[in-house]
């Protein structure tokens, strides 16, 4: 438990984060308040407007350019007013120097001798590999922003290493693998030791270009006839119509099942043989693993590295059709191995990567930060 009052700043509050924030609130004796705003309409991110255990305070987000732009900036109006009202003992912020109002929040906390912990994906050294990227890193002063924090929670081991490379103290960094599902409370689903019919491949996620579902369609179409799988695509998004047209031309056995949630979605996970995420992003990998599915995942921001290992799946290069098709052939060639890899996925989610473990890391991080010597002799944690 964290004995004090915790504040947590986010640019937005995606629906998939709500269970985590409510679970985190249950481990804060004096409560958790989350300060977050809404995404831009073109981001097509599903957000929630309520939490059941944590307090949710709306932020007025003001964006300069779109979040995908290298010059994107965000100012969250109302941030200081929220701090003055909530009076947190520890503050967690997104470790993003482009959110300009966050610097004022850090100053507000430090002026009272209270710690601020960052939470982020990492800081790739590649950002400084070109004159433009060096200019951007300098303009947003990423280095000084990161070093103004009192602790860091990284999404992955790779992210933690990148913060270390910036000179952030290793003993102040913890890794909380990105989890979206709780620890399974049931046994893994039983699957046949052989394919009695065509194997089933499942994709779950938002249908957009960066997910590279077009590559998955092409890879399935390129398999030998005896290996061609049944392909289930679950989700909705701007790329849907184009993908349907492509599937009709090259892989008509594809089933586009729409947006599915809850127990109905769980039934598709149980009925599948293999989960594939051919592009970047996507949070359904852990959910697939919780249903004892082996996974094929394209390399991305590093969060996949902690989930996908030799024992439970394949990490492949992104945007590489040949690698994806070759890996599909390998995966579907040995049913017994596929089942064993699915059981290893289940073990990883039960023992290592789940919401409960993520909450434990966050609580350890804020407890560690709260016992640091106050920087300016400010108030102690409220009782």
Domain match, 283 and 361 both? no
Residue 368 confidence (pLDDT): 94
pLDDT at 64 over 60: yes
- Quick check: is 376 in a domain? no
Asked if residue 215 and residue 143 are part of one domain, the reply reads: no
Residue 379 lies in a domain: no
In tens, the pLDDT along 360-370 reads 999 999 999 98
Q: What is the mean pLDDT of residues 199-225?
A: 95
pLDDT at 124 > cutoff 90 = no
Each residue's pLDDT tens digit, 227-253 = 999 999 999 988 999 999 999 999 999
Residue 119 lies in a domain: yes
Contacts 24+ apart (CB under 8 A), 311-319: 311/341, 311/344, 312/341, 312/342, 312/344, 312/345, 312/348, 313/341, 313/345, 318/212, 318/279, 318/280, 319/212, 319/215, 319/279
Element (H, E) at 64: strand 60-64
Token readout for 326 is 């070759």
208 shares its domain with 237:
yes
Length of the chain in terms of residues written: 383
Which pLDDT does position 379 carry in this prediction?
Answer: 45
Q: Take residue 237 and report the two structure tokens written for it.
A: 């998004």
- 174 and 227, same domain (yes or no): no
Sole residue written with tokens 């590649």: 126
Task: Find residue 298's DSSP bridge partners.
Answer: 316
Q: Kindly state whether residues 360 and 300 are assigned to the same domain.
A: no
**Are residues 157 and 255 part of one domain?**
no
Half-sphere exposure of 218 (CA within 13 A, CB side): 11
Radius of gyration of the chain (CA): 22
Q: String of b and e for 226-250 (b: at least 16 CB within 10 Å)? A: eebbbbbbbbbeebbeebeebbeee
Q: Does 131 share its domain with 261?
A: no
Does residue 237 lie in a domain region? yes
pLDDT (tens digit per residue) in 6-47: 999 999 999 989 999 999 999 999 999 999 999 998 887 889
| Residue 381 in domain | no
Instruction: Classify residue 383: in a domain, yes or no.
Output: no
Angle made by CA atoms 332, 335, 339, in degrees to the nearest 5: 115
pLDDT digits (tens, 9 = 90+) for 302-346: 678 788 999 999 999 989 999 999 999 999 999 999 999 999 999
pLDDT band at 380 (very low <50, low <70, confident <90, very high): very low
Indicate whether 42 and 17 sit together in one domain.
yes
Model confidence, pTM: 0.87
Asked whether residue 341 is assigned to any structural domain, the reply reads: yes
Whether residue 171 is found in the same domain as residue 55: yes
CATH of the domain at 12: 3.40.50.2000
**Could you give the CA distance from residue 105 to residue 20 in angstroms, rounded to a whole number?**
23
- Residue 85 contacts by C-beta under 8 Å, 6 or more apart in sequence? none
**CA atoms of 378 and 77, how far apart (whole Å):** 25
In this structure, how many other beta carbons lie within 10 angstroms of the beta carbon of residue 23? 19
Percent of the chain whose pLDDT exceeds 70: 92
The model's confidence at residue 349, banded by pLDDT at 50, 70 and 90, is very high
Mean pLDDT of all residues in 57-85: 93
Per residue in 146-194, pLDDT tens?
A: 999 999 999 989 899 999 998 999 999 999 988 888 999 899 999 999 9
DSSP, res 302: S
- Kindly state whether residues 315 and 271 are assigned to the same domain: yes
| pLDDT confidence tier of residue 71, bands split at 50, 70 and 90 | confident
Domain that holds residue 360: 6-179+355-370
Q: 140 exposed, middle or buried (CB, 10 Å; 0-12, 13-18, 19+)?
A: buried
pLDDT value at position 299?
86
Q: Which residue has the higher pLDDT, 305 or 128?
A: 305
Q: Are residues 105 and 225 in the same domain?
A: no
- What value does the mean pLDDT of the chain take? 90
Residues 272 and 174 in one domain: no
Q: Tell me, what's the pLDDT at 382?
A: 46
Give residues with Cβ within 8 angstroms of 125, minimum separation 6.
Answer: 162, 165
Please state the domain count of the chain: 2
């Amino acid at each position: 438990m964290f004995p004090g009052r915790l504040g947590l700043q986010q640019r937005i509050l995606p629906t998939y984060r709500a269970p985590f924030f409510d679970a985190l609130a249950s481990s804060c004796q004096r409560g958790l308040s989350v300060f977050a705003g809404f995404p831009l309409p073109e981001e097509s991110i599903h957000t929630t407007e309520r939490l059941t255990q944590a307090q949710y305070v709306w932020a007025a987000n003001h964006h300069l350019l779109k979040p995908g732009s290298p010059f994107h900036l965000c100012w969250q109006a109302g941030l200081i007013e929220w701090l003055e009202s909530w009076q947190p003992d520890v503050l967690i912020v997104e470790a993003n120097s482009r959110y300009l109002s966050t610097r004022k929040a850090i100053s507000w906390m430090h002026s009272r001798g209270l710690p601020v912990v960052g939470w982020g994906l990492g800081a790739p050294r590649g950002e400084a590999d070109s004159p433009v990227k060096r200019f951007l890193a300098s303009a947003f002063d990423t280095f000084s922003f990161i070093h103004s924090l009192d602790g860091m929670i990284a999404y992955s081991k790779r992210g933690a290493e990148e913060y270390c490379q910036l000179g952030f103290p290793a003993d102040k960094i913890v890794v909380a693998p990105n989890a979206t599902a709780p620890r399974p409370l049931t046994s893994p689903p039983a699957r046949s030791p052989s394919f009695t019919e065509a194997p089933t491949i499942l994709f779950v996620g938002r249908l957009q270009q960066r997910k590279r579902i077009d590559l998955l369609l092409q890879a399935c179409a390129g398999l030998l006839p005896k290996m061609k799988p049944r392909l289930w695509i679950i989700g909705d998004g701007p790329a849907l119509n184009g993908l349907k047209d492509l599937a009709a031309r090259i892989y008509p056995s594809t089933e586009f099942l729409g947006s599915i949630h809850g127990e109905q979605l769980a039934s598709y996970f149980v009925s599948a043989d293999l989960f594939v995420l051919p592009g970047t992003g996507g949070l359904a990998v852990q959910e697939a693993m919780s249903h004892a599915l082996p996974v094929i995942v394209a390399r991305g921001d590093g969060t996949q590295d902690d989930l996908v290992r030799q024992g439970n799946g394949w990490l492949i290069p992104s945007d590489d059709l040949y690698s994806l098709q070759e890996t599909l052939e390998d995966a579907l060639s040995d049913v017994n191995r596929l089942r064993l890899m699915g059981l290893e996925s289940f073990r990883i989610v039960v023992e290592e990567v789940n919401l409960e473990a993520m909450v434990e890391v966050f609580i350890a991080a804020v407890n560690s930060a709260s016992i640091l010597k106050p920087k300016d002799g400010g108030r102690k944690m409220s009782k």
